[in-house]
Amino acid sequence: MAASPPPILRLPDELLIEIAAANPQNSLTPDHPSEWVLSHVCRRFRRAVTSVATLWTRVALDLCCDASAEVFRLYLERSSACTIEVILHAMHDAELESPKGLHYLRPHITRIARLTIVVDCADSHEALDTILTSFRNVVMPSLEYLEIKNSSDREIDILDLSPLETPNITSLKMTYCTPSFPPPPWMVPIAHLHLSGNTYPAGGNSDIFRFIITQHPSLVYLYLDVSALTFGLGNGIVSRSLTHLDLEFDESDTDGLSRELASFDTPNLTHLSLHFAHGDQLAFLFDSIKPASRLAFPAVTSLTLANADRTQCHCEVDQLFRDEYKSITAPPLRLFPVMSSLTLIRECFTPRIVSDLLGPGSQPWPQLEILALKPMAADEQNLYATLRDVVRWKQSQQEPLPTFKLSPDLFARDFWAENGVVVELLEEHGMVDSVF
């Protein structure tokens, strides 16, 4: 009697397709996406998976590799007439003289909905210019998202994007490269703009950012790296449309936080995120607003301070910086009158900030509904002790506690359940720059 085929070969075609489509961002193997692996199991699997065009719409090309070009061609063919997401990357020490496989994309340019270009070459600017040549003076009606990233440690000149024609674009993300000034007309309808790690003309000219912010009536999300601006953004940056603002600072700039926030007049801003600022700056900001001050952020409900990779901060090691921390004497209701959510991710002085705002002797802050915390490793035990003091103080005063969203190690403590405290696990992934 012939042996029966293994169970996986008895799966119906519909289930195979569901497996391939379950999560197109993940892979069944470290190097290949699900649809590619399944299409190489047997003829039936190949026929089933290749018959569904939507499984082949995320296409990637290594511009330095001939083998990648052939796979790229197959994906383009199998995606049929669907809109596609294209990832182009050139990671090579040598100059990019002739991109491999890029010519396969030209007949499909009008189908591109998302385009990401990443370079790390001997001459990254020339590589980007070479790649962008394929898209210049060609209308891309489907393009909604464009990302350009210089991953090398070499600075590049300002990038001329003016020849692009993208009438329906809504999102632009640029990393370690800067668009030309004035911005091209196609940038006017952009709603989501991310400019980080940027290089600027000598002196850190902020005119390009002032122009972008004030002249784009549809801009609702902005991520702006202000760390290289020698003289800051200046005053009077007005935006009625902006609802989400992320600012990235130079860690060594001790005055940047208050200075740059003072630049904005954004009456409809609801979410504010500050990257690489310091806890003592936040304390100074919270406690420096006088009763007669203009309300800078009257609609902000969520404030986040985040540091991506910080494990320890010199602020908490150097006695001089520890002495400069000024206690917060009251909730920041004059600056953020409707704020209900505060997030601190790897922020220095987190235990002291939490104690000042919610600990013994603090003023009531009933409108604070969510406090999300992921401390640096060195602060974890100290923060846990502070949170226990907060809980005991609030319960003794019969005051409401906010919902704590905590890092995994803090979340796992037994104290919360033993004292009837509502806690949730903090999911850091996707919190920062979630629009993109």
What's the pLDDT tens digit per position in 70-112? 999 999 999 999 999 999 988 765 556 677 788 899 999 999 9
In sequence order, the β-bridge partners of residue 408 are none
Compute the half-sphere exposure of residue 226: CA atoms within 13 Å on the CB side of its CA: 29
Q: Which of 302, 224, 227, 301 is nearest to 264 (CA)?
A: 224
Least confident of 50-59, 71-80, 156-165, 425-434: 425-434
Cα–Cα dist 423/405, whole Å: 6
pLDDT in tens, 19-53: 767 755 544 444 678 788 777 777 877 788 888 88
Find out whether the peptide bond into 182 is cis, omega within 30 degrees of 0.
Answer: yes
Cα–Cα dist 129/13, whole Å: 44
Cα–Cα dist 271/244, whole Å: 5
* Of 11 and 81, the one with more pLDDT: 81
State whether residue 428 is helix, strand or coil. coil
Sign of the CA dihedral with 424 first, then 428, 429, and 432 last: positive
Q: Model-level pTM? A: 0.86
CA angle 398/401/403 to nearest 5° reads 160
Cα–Cα dist 267/112, whole Å: 35
Sign of the CA dihedral with 128 first, then 132, 133, and 137 last: negative
Report the pLDDT averaged over residues 280-295.
Answer: 65
What is the predicted pLDDT for the residue at 427?
83
Q: Which two tokens stand for residue 107?
A: 């007949």
At 296, the pLDDT band (50, 70, 90 cuts) reads: confident
Report the pLDDT averaged over residues 122-148.
Answer: 88
pLDDT at 308 over 60: yes
What is the predicted pLDDT for the residue at 29?
41
Measured from the Cβ of residue 88, the count of other Cβ atoms closer than 10 Å reads 22
What rounded mean pLDDT belongs to the chain? 82
At 166, the pLDDT band (50, 70, 90 cuts) reads: very high
- Chain centroid to Cα 380, Å, comes to 25
pLDDT in tens, 171-210: 999 988 877 777 788 888 899 999 887 655 444 456 666 7
First to last CA, the chain: 56
What is the predicted pLDDT for the residue at 202?
42
Q: How far is CA 231 from CA 179, 180, 215, 266, 414, in A?
A: 20, 20, 21, 21, 49
Q: Which two tokens stand for residue 269?
A: 């801003």
What is the predicted pLDDT for the residue at 270?
97
Cα–Cα dist 336/302, whole Å: 9
What is the predicted pLDDT for the residue at 203?
43
What is the predicted pLDDT for the residue at 31?
62
* Of 206 and 374, the one with more pLDDT: 374
Cα–Cα dist 389/371, whole Å: 15
Q: Which residues does 49 contact at the CB level (< 8 Å), separation at least 6?
A: 16, 17, 20, 35, 38, 39, 55
Measured from the Cβ of residue 97, the count of other Cβ atoms closer than 10 Å reads 8
pLDDT in tens, 240-285: 899 999 998 876 666 667 777 888 888 999 999 999 888 888 887 8
Strand locations in 315-374 (E):
341-345, 370-374
pLDDT at 292 over 50: no
